[in-house]
Amino acid sequence: MTVRYQLPSDRMPTAWFNAVPSLPEPLAPPLHPGTREPAGPDDLAPLFPMGLIGQEMATEEWIDVPGEVLDILRLWRPTPLVRARRLEEALGTPARIYFKDESVSPAGSHKPNTAVAQAWYNKAEGVTRLTTETGAGQWGSALSFACSLLGMECEVYMVRASYNQKPYRRMLMETWGGTTIPSPSDRTQAGRAILEADPDSPGSLGIAISEAVERAATQDDAHYSLGSVLNHVLLHQTVIGLEAKEQLAMAGEDRVDVVIGSCGGGSNLGGITLPFVPDKKAGADLRLVAVEPQSCPTLTEGRYDYDFGDTAGMTPLLQMYTLGHDFVPPPIHAGGLRYHGDAPIICNLVRNGWMEAVAYPQGKVFEAAIQFARTQGTVPAPETAHAVRAAIDEALAAKEQGQDRVILFNYSGHGLLDLAAYDDFLHGRLGDD
């Protein structure tokens, strides 16, 4: 009985899919943080290379992947599509559950899909050092990995709560040559201001972004690299959904009923869902679902407005669902989902009813993660477990309704460096935020 569907390496997508032309309404432009006027390429140039700025503002539907980027991606891509038959059996559901296994990358998640591309475009324009932020450490380790392959330096500001919770992520970054700093730190003006107000601050992605942006803006040899939210980041991740569409056809599926991804800033969610947007636009009976933590409910409870991407107000303002750029979420274990806003592309889809959003407390998320581990055998990252929770609930709903439902979710990363979170859950120490 087939459970894994693998494309040969020569079938890996050679162009990224740009969803912007297919959105239900045009994206609002980013605004300059000082003038509040629409930001142009020159405004972004201190932080990003022109190759990525062009992708950020692109209107063409397909953008070619550079050959050198393809060569690196082929170290692990295409990734498998897996039929979760053992989970289906345990649930007693008529639904067919598939997951795209992005945990097979060297860094253990989907993040290298864009880390490699961003590092390559920066190096092509003479940049030697990248600064960035990371929550759970998936992005920081992915960028450290990419920089190590391309001979670049990498400086990572890691949210302090996650820095303390996930020491093995720090070790992984340092193994690949990255420098990891707990945020807020005393290295930047933004960090010092936070520490002066709250010496015990657990940090947030917004604070870490402020520190990384400040470091890049004040060093001539450095650029800033972001792991989620921006258009070019979601663009690079579309290899996930593009491969999944081909693999579903290999599995004999002529449709998919629901496509699910966990959502912090929107990168893995966009990667699995955006290639399906043209189908949605054409009238397909298809649901796209974003899953977020109840403790950081940007899409389900945030306001739709222009807001900064960082706490200090140094980044361009983006129109998005936001909890406010000064929001500091509880230190839940799903550190990659602890962000105050979401990608404008994702927010556009949610606001126009093309995507729905659901929020879960972390207790229910870990219940699902344990069930998945004990049936399918692999241990999901806490972020990924949000998508697992939603997939299980969709399968149970199909069982209750007697429906033949095809469910696809993004298995965005493994949890082998997050076992302290599982230990907390299994021994009753995990808060149910």
φ and ψ at residue 259, rounded to 5 degrees: -120, 125
- What is the per-residue pLDDT for 135? 82
- What is the per-residue pLDDT for 332? 58
Q: Where are the beta strands (DSSP E) in 232-302?
A: 258-262, 287-293
More confident residue, 314 or 244: 244
- β-pair type (62-64, 15-17): antiparallel
378 by DSSP, 3-state: which? coil
Q: Worst-scoring range by mean pLDDT, 93-97, 137-141, 240-244? A: 137-141
- What is the per-residue pLDDT for 165? 83
Write down the H helix ranges in 105-177: 112-124, 138-150, 160-165, 167-175
CATH number of the domain located at residue range(s) 4-10+67-108+237-426 in this protein: 3.40.50.1100
CA distances (Å), origin 332, targets 282, 296, 319, 338: 39, 9, 26, 8
CA distances (Å), origin 243, targets 107, 240, 274, 326: 19, 5, 12, 38
Question: Which helix H or strand E contains 304, and what residues bound it?
Answer: strand 303-308
Q: Rounded mean pLDDT of 18-43? A: 93
pLDDT of 260 above 60: yes
pLDDT of 429 above 90: no
- What is the per-residue pLDDT for 432? 60
Q: What is the DSSP letter of 232?
A: H
Burial zone of 151 (CB within 10 Å; 0-12 exposed, 13-18 middle, 19+ buried): exposed
